[in-house]
Amino acid sequence: MGLRVPARPGATLLELAGQAGLGLEAGCGGKGLCGKCRVRLTGEFPPLDEAQARLLGQEARQGLRLACQTEMPRGGVVWVPQESLQKRQVILTAGTDTDLELDPAVRRLELRVPPASLREPRAAAQRLAEELRTPALDVPLEVLRALPQALGAPEGLVTATLWQGRRVLEVSAGRAPASLGLAVDLGTTTVVAYLLDLADGRPLAVEAAMNPQVMRGDDVISRISHACQDPAHLAELAGLAVACLNQLSRQACHSAGVAPRRILECVVVGNTAMHHLFLGLDPSGLAAAPYAPVLGASLDLPAARLGLELAPLANLHLPPVKAGFVGSDAVAAALAAGADQVETSTLILDLGTNGEMILATPQALLCCSTAAGPAFEGGHIKFGMRGAPGAVERLALDPDTLEPSLGVIGGGAPLGLCGSGLVSAVAELWRAGALGETGGWNPALEHPRLRQGDQGREFVLAWAAQTANGQDLALTAQDLAQVQLAKGAIQAGARIMLERLGLAAPEQVLLAGAFGNYLDPADALDIGLLPPVARQRVRGIGNAAGAGALMILASQRQRQRAQDLAQRLEYLELAALPGFLDRFLEGMAFLPAPGRRED
Amino acid sequence: MGLRVPARPGATLLELAGQAGLGLEAGCGGKGLCGKCRVRLTGEFPPLDEAQARLLGQEARQGLRLACQTEMPRGGVVWVPQESLQKRQVILTAGTDTDLELDPAVRRLELRVPPASLREPRAAAQRLAEELRTPALDVPLEVLRALPQALGAPEGLVTATLWQGRRVLEVSAGRAPASLGLAVDLGTTTVVAYLLDLADGRPLAVEAAMNPQVMRGDDVISRISHACQDPAHLAELAGLAVACLNQLSRQACHSAGVAPRRILECVVVGNTAMHHLFLGLDPSGLAAAPYAPVLGASLDLPAARLGLELAPLANLHLPPVKAGFVGSDAVAAALAAGADQVETSTLILDLGTNGEMILATPQALLCCSTAAGPAFEGGHIKFGMRGAPGAVERLALDPDTLEPSLGVIGGGAPLGLCGSGLVSAVAELWRAGALGETGGWNPALEHPRLRQGDQGREFVLAWAAQTANGQDLALTAQDLAQVQLAKGAIQAGARIMLERLGLAAPEQVLLAGAFGNYLDPADALDIGLLPPVARQRVRGIGNAAGAGALMILASQRQRQRAQDLAQRLEYLELAALPGFLDRFLEGMAFLPAPGRRED
């Protein structure tokens, strides 16, 4: 790639690559466990420890090493294989296409402020407050400093920008350009930012990026554990998220042809771990029972306080989080899905690592989260990967020969399996009778593609000659177990919520997020990932968290509705409930979930 | 003095002296007008401009120069005469001895916060809010970051420090030391800081210092004009005030044996110019009619926002200012004097450069300010000086011989005249018949001490042999004119307020500030500086502004009372009133003010 980086003593190749702007896969957060950040060295090979030798096998002798465990060799060159690079992911930026209600917290007012007179030498701030008919107007120091110049022209036009009708965020002489807002869905893996014109509700740009915190771990648990080691780690993770938001806001403003300092409010939603890491709040409570967050309520603070480079007095609004594993993204998704206004029982699922679920009926609003694990995001799956070019997203088996046909994102040679491809593969193998009911392979099955691998029996979905990396692409017995764990957790969570309301099944299922959007409902129903509903009552609702964040940005009424919704939500801590383990174990079977299903 | 400073090209000797920690007198703010920053050069003398030549006379040829107009000569040494050094002033720190009402905005609470449970995994901030029975508790980000550790010990004692019962300023595990408060009287010339224990109202320390802004001008007008030249000047003046407060708080804490980060609230009062310069608010409006301030209302902001080094979340409270020349010091003085609760008509005078006056009756509350000029602070008086050692503070003339006896601060040889000495000299000369009624010297007077000087006729109060600087100490005709201007303005202001309420005289006069405290009431009454009241009804009330700041710091009720008082105060802009000029001209006469006087 021709990149040159000055090598600091003590810095790992993973860190140096990050400095060079080169994202390497590091599922374990740089602990030497996942084996994904492999690089090839030339020159003098550094010594090899036992853990690396086990993970890397034969090739270690030819200079293969884990970037996270290796310092820069003297005078050498480091080759980065394609598989070790972070994939540019297919990021779902679209939310549900609802018209945005427009009633923003930030409003621009044009007014004329009379000059002071010798008979009434009223202070500038007082004349402004009187003209705005707001006696208790909050005029921050920065605005007071700008006030004389803004009010300078006698009887001239003045533009004041107010937040919630009571705090002045900006004041200037003459007309000012429209105020903008930024809504951000701060995901564990991806970050999506929406730029909105707050005067007319017009969307101006959408930008997305990988969450740069992935260099400290793929999943929330590894990032939490990293943050808990050292206050400097927590500060670093917070800084990475802030830098990412700044980059996205610059990009969005660049493509819309506006300046970031026109952004006067920013709404950020995310799971509770992202929320805490962004704010620099100690996340250790989220890692152990009872999983209590530091802050549940919504928070408003100056965006500049965190280092966001927006308007100097821009407000940062963080909607409420409900629990350690039900974040403001779930609250925002529930808002976008209208969970507080459903007419029939509705199960809203976000099948990420922490399967957040909401069960809404006209009377009740329950939520829970299940440790579904990262299987559907490519984690802990031998050839798992995110939904990026090269990922198998769909698979069909010839019912007689079991020969697979693969649908690959981007259309090229396959490299791995993303979440929907994984579910599709498992469902096809189940329908073909290749799986045992209680898990694992059907012991009776014999097939040329089913062979003994280093992790037990595995089914080869594509031979080395067809794949992008020249390796056989296989689904292993361990991969099947990961899917079972994930669906067991999800099924148990859904059943416990349904039983709590005396229901056998919900009348509809809404799937939030990218995985939910690309998932084939039939596959999900067949293997029991979803409770028994009619296939046509399963619907993807896109990036509902992002859509909810936009609603909260655009409207104070929706912002209040999100607060009320979070208040009304009843959180079930599954681990504290009797019966969870039974349902979890039942849910692991490769069978449709129990109950009636109309198709 | 042996000081060495690196000389920067372009820097004046005045600036270099400031860098070396050496304060030179610079009444005009370094404009080359007042001639007080004289220094003596050796080596190569720099060229002499006409203005300096006029001010310095003969001695310029021997190397006398103005430090503010001169750069460092190459390889030379600069001698600083004693008179050019800023005097350590006698600063009045005591206020009226009223017991402080204790009801502070900052309160420390000890409580036990129950841990989160698996059944109710409530957020840490929510558990704290519930324990404090304050649902809308404002928990700033810094406190949220410290919360997990503070609540760490299950059922352990937690100390929370609250501001106005709704914002958490600090939280920590276990017991915490008492919260402290700092009340500051930010004067044009001197700054006084009082350290208070907010738990029991005990005063811990008082510290005073010269306002370091004097290097940019003695009076508010020269500082305002300096600030208006360049935004960097305004920032510099603000920074000087902040640095002074930080130094005073460190000193006060050092002498009390406490840490500045225990200070959780700071109240600062000052005249409107000091208020604006401290906050970095554009003071240009104060320099021209209609003299409207930027901000009149009280202001609360984080002390750290201005760079005050107190507790990280300490609150800074600035009480309201009433008008461009009636500041929060006048409001605080009125509070301390009980202007809102008087039973008889009371005139409260602060005879500084901007003679602020309040006329209080049980029904009305008027205020005004008069441009009395700096005469009573030593400004514009040939041998004027502040109330520092060497200043004549009292003078008696032998009625027959007119031989003066001098009372000198510190008891040594006289150097100049401070405000009370000036009034004493004028009153004695008036009583001896040495003055003409309409001003100037009695044309009939012949006396060996009355001679022709370079500024007209002057009366020698002390011959060179007796003085500290070897010069004749004289009172000039121009000095008399300055006193006339000051008392004309003060008498006119007082009369206009009295007439507005249909009164000929107030029933009592309260004199705030150092000058008022040291002034002999008989002198002031005789020359018509005060309206006609009985001599025993004139009383000094000490540093009433500082006393009021302490009351506002110690009690929320007093803070509210100060707001109400500022609201109730009716401000009279004298320049806008008919009749002001007539009364001003009348007031210039050396006569007791018109009206009946009982003695």
| pLDDT value at residue B89 | 44
- Closest partner residue to A290 (CB to CB) among B121, B289, B573 is B121
pLDDT-derived band at B55, boundaries 50, 70, 90: confident
A contacts of B282 (beta carbons < 8 Å): 145, 147-149
User: Please, what is the average pLDDT of chain A?
Assistant: 89
Q: For residue A121, which residues of chain B lie inside 8 Å, CB to CB?
A: 290-292, 323-324, 571, 573
Question: From CA A492, how far away is CA A424, in angstroms rounded?
Answer: 21
Does residue A182 have a pLDDT over 90? Answer: yes
C-alpha distances (whole Å) from A39 to each of A12, A72, A201, A210, B568 are: 12, 11, 47, 21, 77
Q: Which chain A residues are within 8 Å of B573, Cβ to Cβ? A: 118-119, 121
Residue B162's pLDDT is what? 97
Q: Indicate which of B139, B151, B295 best probes the interface with A, i.e. most A CBs within 10 Å of its own CB.
A: B295
- 3-state SS assignment for residue A257: coil
By CB neighbour count within 10 A (0-12 exposed, 13-18 middle, 19+ buried), where does B591 fall? middle
Please give the Cα distance from B456 to B311 (Å, whole number): 57
Task: Write out the two tokens for A327.
Answer: 């974040």
Q: Which of chain B's residues have a Cβ under 8 Å away from the Cβ of A122?
A: 292, 296
pLDDT at A599: 54
* Contact (CB<8Å) A121/B291: yes
Q: What local confidence, expressed as pLDDT, does residue A438 receive?
A: 81
Q: Which residues are B269's β-sheet partners?
A: B185
Let me know: does A188 contact A274? Beta carbons within 8 Å. yes
pLDDT on residue A597: 57
Confidence of residue B308 (pLDDT cuts 50, 70, 90): very high
Tell me which of A137, A138, A139, A144 to substitute to probe the interface with B (most B C-beta atoms closer than 10 Å). A144
User: Complex ipTM above 0.85?
Assistant: no
The Cα-based distances of B273 to A74, A266, B210, B283 in angstroms read 64, 37, 16, 7
Average pLDDT over residues A447-455: 90
The answer on pLDDT for B242 being more than 90 is yes
Non-local (6+) Cβ contacts of A457 within 8 A are A440, A441, A450, A451, A476, A477
Contact A76, A43 (CB under 8 A): yes
Q: What is the pLDDT of residue A154?
A: 72
pLDDT digits (tens, 9 = 90+) for B397-446: 998 899 999 999 888 899 999 999 999 999 999 999 999 878 889 988 89
Split at pLDDT 50, 70, 90, the class of A124 is: very high
Range with the poorest average pLDDT among A334-338, A590-594, B90-94, B111-115: B90-94
pLDDT level of residue B92 (50, 70, 90 thresholds): very low
Q: pTM for this structure?
A: 0.83
- 3-class DSSP state of B217: coil
pLDDT category of residue B98 using cuts at 50, 70 and 90: low
- What is the phi-psi region of residue B522: left when phi exceeds 0, alpha when psi lies from -120 to 50, beta otherwise? alpha
pLDDT band at B97 (very low <50, low <70, confident <90, very high): very low
pLDDT at A200 over 70: yes
Closest alpha carbon to B169 in B22, B300, B35: B300
Q: Quick one: average pLDDT of A405-417?
A: 91
Residues in chain A closer than 8 A to B117 (CB atoms): 290
pLDDT at B3: 63
| Chain B residues in contact with A144 (beta carbon < 8 A) | 279, 281, 294-295, 299
Residue A453, exposed/middle/buried by CB under 10 A (0-12, 13-18, 19+)? middle
Percentage of the residues of chain B whose pLDDT score is greater than 90:
63
For B143, nearest residue in chain A (alpha carbons): A281
The residue in chain B having the minimum alpha-carbon distance to the alpha carbon of residue A577 is B119
Say how far residue A128 (Cα) sits from the centre of its chain.
43
The closest of B408, B418, B427, B400 to B520, measured between CA atoms, is: B427
Residues of B in contact with A294 (CB under 8 A): 123-125, 144, 147-148
DSSP A30-84: SSS-S---EEEE-SSPPP--HHHHHHHGGGGGGTEEEGGG-BPPTT--EE--GGG
Is the pLDDT score of B364 beyond 70? Answer: yes
CA-CA distance, A249 to A192, in Å (whole number)?
10
Q: From residue A533, how far is each of A127, A159, A428, A486, A525 by CA, in Å?
A: 63, 55, 20, 19, 8
Given a cut of 90, is residue A97 above it in pLDDT?
A: no
Write the pLDDT tens digit of every residue in A30-82.
Answer: 777 778 888 888 777 788 888 888 888 888 887 888 888 888 877 677 888 77
Per-residue pLDDT at A110: 93
What is the rounded average pLDDT of the residues A157-178? 95
pLDDT in tens, B162-216: 999 999 999 999 999 999 999 999 998 889 999 999 999 999 999 999 899 988 8
Q: Do A125 and B291 lie within an 8 Å CB cutoff?
A: no
How far is the C-alpha of B313 from the C-alpha of A381, rounded, in Å? 48
**pLDDT of residue B292 exceeding 60:** yes
What confidence tens digit (pLDDT) does each residue in A266-317 have?
A: 999 999 999 999 999 999 999 998 999 999 999 999 999 999 999 999 999 9
CA distance A367 to chain B (A): 14
A336-352 burial, b if ≥16 CB within 10 A, otherwise e? bbbbbebeebbbbbbbb
Across chain B, what does the average pLDDT equal? 89
Concatenating the DSSP letter of every residue in B98-115 gives PPPP-B-SEEEEEEE-PP
* Contact assignment for B145 to A281 by CB distance below 8 Å: yes
How much is the average pLDDT of B79-91? Answer: 64
- pLDDT tens-digit series, residues B9-30: 788 888 887 766 567 777 676 7
Judged against a pLDDT cut of 50, whether residue B91 lies above it is answered with: no
d(CA B532, CA B591): 11
Three-state SS at A454: strand
List of chain B residues whose C-beta atoms are within 8 Å of the C-beta of residue A296: 122-123, 125-126
Confidence band of A478 (pLDDT split at 50, 70, 90): very high
Q: Which of A145, A301, A322 to mutate to test the interface with B (most CBs of B within 10 A)?
A: A145
What are A512-546's pLDDT values in tens digits? Answer: 887 888 899 999 999 999 999 999 999 988 889 99
Find where tokens 């009695």 sit.
Answer: B442
Q: How many residues does chain B have?
A: 599
A282 to B145: CB separation less than 8 angstroms, yes or no: yes
Phi, psi (5° rounding) for residue B596?
A: -75, 145
Residue with tokens 């992911």, as numbered in its chain: A89
Residues B66-82: pLDDT tens digits? 988 888 877 677 888 77
Q: Is B460 helix (H, G, I), strand (E, B) or coil?
A: strand
Asked if the model's pLDDT at residue B376 lies above 50, the reply is yes
Whether residue B267 is predicted with pLDDT greater than 50 in this model: the reply is yes
pLDDT band at A19 (very low <50, low <70, confident <90, very high): low
The pLDDT of residue A27? 66
Predicted pLDDT of residue A591: 77
Q: If DSSP codes are grouped into helix, strand and coil, which group holds residue A571?
A: strand
* pLDDT on residue B133: 93
Higher local confidence (pLDDT), B32 or B175: B175
Please determine, for residue B597, whether its predicted confidence score (pLDDT) is greater than 80: no
Average pLDDT score over residue span B98-102: 78
- What pLDDT is recorded for position B533? 93
The identity of residue A472, as a single letter, is D
Selected residue of A127, A141, A572 to mutate for chain B interface (largest B Cβ count, 10 A): A141
* Residue B498 parent element (H or E): helix B477-500
Mean per-residue pLDDT, B129-155: 92
Q: A302 CA to chain B: closest CA distance, Å?
A: 10
pLDDT of A89: 44
Torsion of CA A219, A220, A226, A230, to 10 degrees: 160
All residues of chain A having their beta carbon less than 8 Å from the beta carbon of residue B571 are 121
Confidence band, pLDDT 50/70/90 cuts, at residue A6: confident
Spell out the residues 6+ positions from residue B84 whose beta carbon is closer than 8 angstroms to its own.
B24, B25, B36, B37, B38, B39, B67
Q: What is the DSSP string of B259-295?
A: -GGGEEEEEEEE-HHHHHHHHT---GGGGSTT---S-
Whether B289 sits inside 8 A of A139 (CB atoms) is no
